[in-house]
């Protein structure tokens, strides 16, 4: 059972590690643009090798594991920090784990989950996975998940401390979520504004149409925006539109192209089936990530690129 839990935890670490982290730090130097969390510093002698900071996001952290299955998890949302440090050679993963554990306890954090394991070197299949992803083999994993307060806000912290084979320096990864409300609000463009924008520019971008993650299923909050499209079309019976789906660049080009097409079709279906708009007036088009309106290097930019546009035929 203990080894199975360790297997899952390492996979969890890999899952988080696969998220976009800047990782171009040279020997002894922090990654460009990286910085420590204001209240959770680094172990002296550590080098910041990976960094990502988002004003809003969601992480999934384990609370209970049975075998290799997560039977209960925590998914906090808020300001997200992902920090990866290369530890000094004299500091093992167990030492780093103990330092962060003591630090969090001193700050009044409640320990929700922890694992201490030194047997992962015996997983042949797992070693292949790790070698492919990290270029080396993990031999030790220590982890914890804790909840408390940072900077006056409720916070959840995940610590994953690992060591590799072949004598390389151990690493520690911190995943921090400080609770805050999502500041972004749905922008529902009214029928009158749609008419003005399309008449003036030939198209209008809509951000009030949202979908489930990696899906073409419309969220309930999108229905108001679609109703406004129907209102506009009803008031302008001669207008025909391309309904164009756009994505950010997360994932492969082909995947995003297909997703954008499916999402555009979902909007057309809703207009035809629920609002009685003639299918002959609408054509669904997906262009994936090829027409961004902002940089895909930030979450804010990616959010702007995920949109539906109405284009006059």
Identify the domain boundary among 126, 145, 179: 179
Domain hosting 280: range is: 191-312
Identify which has the larger pLDDT, 264 or 69.
264
Same domain, 256 and 163: no
Residue 185 lies in a domain: no
Altogether, the residues listed in the chain come to a count of 313
Identify which has the larger pLDDT, 104 or 132.
104
Confidence category of residue 184, pLDDT binned at 50, 70, 90: low
Residue 227 lies in a domain: yes
Identify which has the larger pLDDT, 312 or 94.
312
Identify the domain boundary among 158, 179, 200: 179
245: domain CATH number? Answer: 3.30.1330.60
Same domain, 165 and 59: yes
Identify the domain boundary among 155, 179, 203: 179
Provide Rg for the chain, Cα atoms.
24
Look up the pTM and report it: 0.53
Same domain, 152 and 30: yes
CA distances, 26 to each of 29, 49, 86, 142, 215 (Å) = 5, 8, 11, 25, 39
Mean pLDDT of 193-215: 91
Mean pLDDT of 48-59: 86
Mean pLDDT of 271-279: 96
Mean pLDDT of 242-254: 90
Same domain, 13 and 136: yes
Residue 184 lies in a domain: no
Mean pLDDT of 232-251: 93
Is pLDDT above 60 for 152?
Answer: yes
Identify which has the larger pLDDT, 134 or 100.
100
Same domain, 229 and 93: no
- The residues with which 160 forms a beta bridge, in sequence order, are 143, 173
167: domain CATH number? Answer: 3.40.1000
Residue 70 lies in a domain: yes
The mean-pLDDT minimum among 70-79, 98-107, 185-194, 302-311 falls in 70-79
DSSP reduced 3-state for 127: helix
Same domain, 167 and 300: no
Residue pLDDT, tens place only, 6-31:
444 444 444 444 334 444 455 578 99
Residue 236 lies in a domain: yes
Query: Structurally, how many domains does the chain consist of?
Result: 2
Max mean pLDDT among 52-56, 75-79, 207-211, 267-271 falls in: 267-271
Same domain, 215 and 70: no
Identify which has the larger pLDDT, 98 or 21.
98
Q: Which of 119, 137, 171, 165 is nearest to 3 (CA)?
A: 119
Same domain, 164 and 278: no
Is pLDDT above 90 for 74?
Answer: no
Same domain, 24 and 171: yes
DSSP reduced 3-state for 194: helix
Confidence category of residue 250, pLDDT binned at 50, 70, 90: confident
Same domain, 159 and 297: no
Q: Average pLDDT of the chain? A: 81
Is pLDDT above 90 for 215?
Answer: no
DSSP reduced 3-state for 289: coil
**In percent, how much of the chain has pLDDT > 70?**
77
Is pLDDT above 60 for 96?
Answer: yes
What is the Cα–Cα distance from 184 to 217, expressed in whole angstroms?
21
Pair 281, 239: CB distance under 8 Å? yes
Q: State residue 26's pLDDT score.
A: 52
Mean pLDDT of 158-163: 85
**Residue 259 CA, distance from chain mean position:** 17
Q: State residue 278's pLDDT score.
A: 96
Same domain, 32 and 161: yes
């Amino acid at each position: 059972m203990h080894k199975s839990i360790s297997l899952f935890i390492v996979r969890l670490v890999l899952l988080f590690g696969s998220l976009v982290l800047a990782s171009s730090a040279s020997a002894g130097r922090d990654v460009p643009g990286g910085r420590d969390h204001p209240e959770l510093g680094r172990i002296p002698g550590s080098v910041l090798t990976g960094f990502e900071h988002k004003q809003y996001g969601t992480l999934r952290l384990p609370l209970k594991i049975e075998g290799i299955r997560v039977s209960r998890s925590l998914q906090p949302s808020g300001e997200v920090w992902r920090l990866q440090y290369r530890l000094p050679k004299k500091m093992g993963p167990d030492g780093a784990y103990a330092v962060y554990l003591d630090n969090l306890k001193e700050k009044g954090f409640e320990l929700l989950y922890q694992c201490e394991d030194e047997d992962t070197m015996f997983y042949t299949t797992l070693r292949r996975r790790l070698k492919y992803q990290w270029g080396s083999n993990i031999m030790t994993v220590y982890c914890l998940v804790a909840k408390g307060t940072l900077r006056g806000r409720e916070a959840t912290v995940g610590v994953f401390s690992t060591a590799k084979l072949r004598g390389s320096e151990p690493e520690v990864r911190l995943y921090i979520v400080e609770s805050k409300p999502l500041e972004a609000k749905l922008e529902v463009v009214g029928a009158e504004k749609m008419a003005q924008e399309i008449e003036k520019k030939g198209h209008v971008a809509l951000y009030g149409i949202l979908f489930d993650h990696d899906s073409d299923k419309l969220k309930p909050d999108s229905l108001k925006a679609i109703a406004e499209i129907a209102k506009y079309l009803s008031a302008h019976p001669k207008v025909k539109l391309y309904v164009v789906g756009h994505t950010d660049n997360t994932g492969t080009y082909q995947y995003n192209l297909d997703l954008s097409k499916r999402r555009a079709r979902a909007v057309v279906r809703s207009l035809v089936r629920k609002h009685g708009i003639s299918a002959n007036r609408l054509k669904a088009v997906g262009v994936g990530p090829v027409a961004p309106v902002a940089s895909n290097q930030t979450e804010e930019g990616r959010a702007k690129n995920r949109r539906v546009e109405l284009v006059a035929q």
